[in-house]
């Protein structure tokens, strides 16, 4: 039997990727471009069908490389997990959400691990990329993978390498973002690092899977805490009559010791609103309370309520009440210029508006219709953005600052604009109609 390390160096090792979403699909493309045979797995038949027919279901990820790899017979995508034994390296990119009680939900990791365990054979590498708490790889995955008698570090290899995707970022992508890798044993690390070296420009090896797991959490906790800080300052500075965005811009001129973070209507995406609570939960095992994480979470979760209060106050100035008011939401993606709406604060705000009797419409050039999700059950379609539509509204709320929006034109025709992103900062005419929230 040819050793795995030799297959990797000869690029004959088949790379199997489980989960073809925002993390798995770019990874599939990178390994295909690196010359490896690739096998993609997903439980969603719509994704598999789309890829086989040359259609992309994630706007910012090009479909051309996938179609080329399929045509060249260097890639196959499948619903059949019985084919896992064909893969020499198995990369797991499945969701790690929270339960309603804000506790880690590892059901997808557990199910996937058990599936992999049933097909595990000698000389396979398994790598978890899904964000999780320290100890998941060696405490949760390892015992299940060793149940069949294979020994880690000798018969098979297990590692953790956190995804660092930033959808829509034009400067950084899977290939040029440094890759942190931690193995259960030295042999595991060597093989995982050897594999990723062919797909990314820099490998950052660490001493254990736990270090790698906590590295990812630290990155997102850092952002969560700093965003909470500026969100709290936003509430204060609005009472003080100071423009916080101007303050941040001025502070950003300091060439050292300051990194700008910006306030908004709340946190969105698959990482920052969720990942910090994975560490908070794990910390309880050590009789430790992560106070900063909890406080940051409270502040960030409160932002949709702050936006609601600012909207009610702004309508009152026009002698209108929220009950019955027509509100147009601009942007439901969690960040600008992408079609990713996971955990978007726009949904929380829309739900609050509806609960208080508002009539809610939305426009998002990247998301033509809303589908029921884990928390929200919206069934709406994006309305056309026209002068007539803007004039009909009692207020227009900018919740995602897409580049395609003409903010001067929006302010010109809307009776009232609630700006949560400072998107109207260069608009000169009609500033009396703009309320920062």
375: pLDDT strictly greater than 90: no
pLDDT tens, position by position, 111-132: 999 999 999 999 999 999 999 9
**In this predicted structure, what is the pLDDT of residue 374?**
64
Predicted confidence band of residue 323 (pLDDT cuts 50, 70, 90):
very high
Whether residues 273 and 199 share a domain: the answer is no
Determine the Cα angle at 302 with ends 368 and 434, to 5°.
Answer: 65
Q: For the segment 142-173, what is each residue's pLDDT rounded down to a tens digit?
A: 999 999 999 999 999 999 999 998 887 888 88
63 and 203 co-located in one domain: yes
Residues 257 and 141 in one domain: no
Listed residue (275, 401, 380) closest to 338, CA to CA: 401
Give me the helix-helix angle, 244-251 and 209-240, nearest 10°.
Answer: 130
- pTM of the entire predicted model: 0.92
Same domain, 199 and 275: no
Q: Is residue 156 a part of any domain in this protein?
A: yes
- On whether both 82 and 191 belong to a single domain, the answer is yes
Q: Is residue 218 part of a domain?
A: no
Same domain assignment for residues 191 and 49: yes
Under the banding of pLDDT at 50, 70 and 90, the label for residue 29 is very high
Residue 372 lies inside a defined structural domain of this protein: yes
Backbone angles phi, psi at 206, to 5 degrees: -125, 170
Give the pLDDT of residue 373: 67
Count of C-beta atoms within a 10 Å radius of residue 119: 17
Residue 270, both tokens? 């698959």
Position 65 scores a pLDDT of 96
Q: Which residues are catalytic?
A: 271
Question: Same domain, yes or no, for 339 and 375?
Answer: yes
Residue 213 included in any domain = no
CATH number reported for the structural domain that contains residue 140 in this entry: 3.40.50.720
Residues 232 and 191 reside in one and the same domain: no
Other Cβ atoms less than 10 A from the Cβ of 375: the count is: 10
The residue among 178, 207, 236 that closes a domain is 207
390 in the same domain as 281: yes
pLDDT of residue 271: 76
CA 396/CA 100 separation, integer angstroms? 31
Range of the domain at 69: 4-207
Which of 414, 425, 435 lies closest to 262 in space, CA to CA?
A: 425
- Classify residue 279: in a domain, yes or no: yes
Number of domains in the chain: 2
Any domain includes 316: yes
| 99 is a domain residue | yes
Reported as a single tens digit per residue, the pLDDT across 79-89 is: 999 999 999 99
Q: 162 in a domain, yes or no?
A: yes
């Amino acid at each position: 039997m040819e050793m795995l390390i030799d297959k990797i160096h000869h690029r004959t090792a088949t790379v199997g990727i489980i989960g073809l979403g925002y993390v798995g699909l770019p990874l599939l493309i990178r390994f295909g471009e690196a010359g490896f045979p690739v096998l993609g797995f997903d439980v969603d038949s719509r994704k598999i069908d789309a890829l086989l027919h040359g259609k992309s279901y994630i706007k910012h990820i090009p479909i051309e490389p996938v179609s080329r790899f399929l045509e060249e017979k260097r890639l196959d995508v499948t619903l059949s997990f019985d084919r896992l034994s064909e893969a020499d390296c198995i990369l797991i990119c499945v969701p790690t959400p929270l339960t309603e009680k804000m506790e880690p939900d590892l059901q997808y990791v557990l199910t996937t691990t058990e599936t992999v365990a049933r097909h595990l054979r000698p000389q396979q590498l398994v790598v978890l990329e899904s964000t999780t708490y320290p100890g998941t790889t060696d405490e949760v995955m390892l015992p299940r993978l060793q149940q069949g008698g294979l020994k880690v570090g000798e018969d098979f290899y297990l590692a953790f390498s956190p995804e660092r995707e930033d959808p829509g970022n034009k400067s950084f992508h899977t290939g040029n973002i440094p890759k942190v890798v931690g193995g259960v044993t030295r042999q595991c690390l060597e093989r995982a690092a050897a594999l990723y070296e062919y797909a990314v420009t820099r490998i950052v090896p660490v001493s254990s899977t736990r270090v790698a797991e906590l590295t990812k959490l630290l990155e997102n906790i850092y952002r969560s805490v700093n965003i909470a800080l500026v969100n709290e300052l936003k509430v204060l500075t609005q009472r003080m009559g100071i423009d916080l965005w101007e303050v941040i811009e001025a502070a950003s001129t300091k060439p050292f010791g300051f990194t700008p973070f910006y306030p908004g209507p709340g946190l969105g995406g698959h990482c920052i609103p969720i990942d910090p609570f994975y560490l908070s939960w794990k910390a309880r095992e050590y009789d430790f309370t992560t106070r900063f994480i909890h406080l940051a979470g409270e502040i960030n979760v409160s932002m949709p309520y702050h936006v609601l209060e600012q909207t009610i106050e702004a309508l009152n100035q026009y002698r209108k009440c929220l009950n019955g008011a027509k509100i147009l939401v601009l942007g439901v993606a969690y960040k600008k210029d992408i079609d990713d709406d996971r955990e978007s604060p726009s949904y929380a705000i829309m739900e609050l508006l509806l609960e208080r009797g508002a009539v809610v419409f939305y426009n998002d050039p990247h998301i033509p219709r809303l589908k029921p999700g884990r928390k929200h059950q919206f069934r709406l379609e994006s309305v056309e953005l026209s002068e007539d539509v803007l004039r009909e509204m009692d207020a227009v709320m900018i919740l995602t600052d897409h580049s395609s929006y003409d903010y001067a034109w929006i302010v010109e025709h809307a009776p009232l604009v609630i700006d949560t992103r400072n998107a109207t900062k260069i608009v000169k005419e009609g500033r009396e109609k703009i309320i920062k929230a």
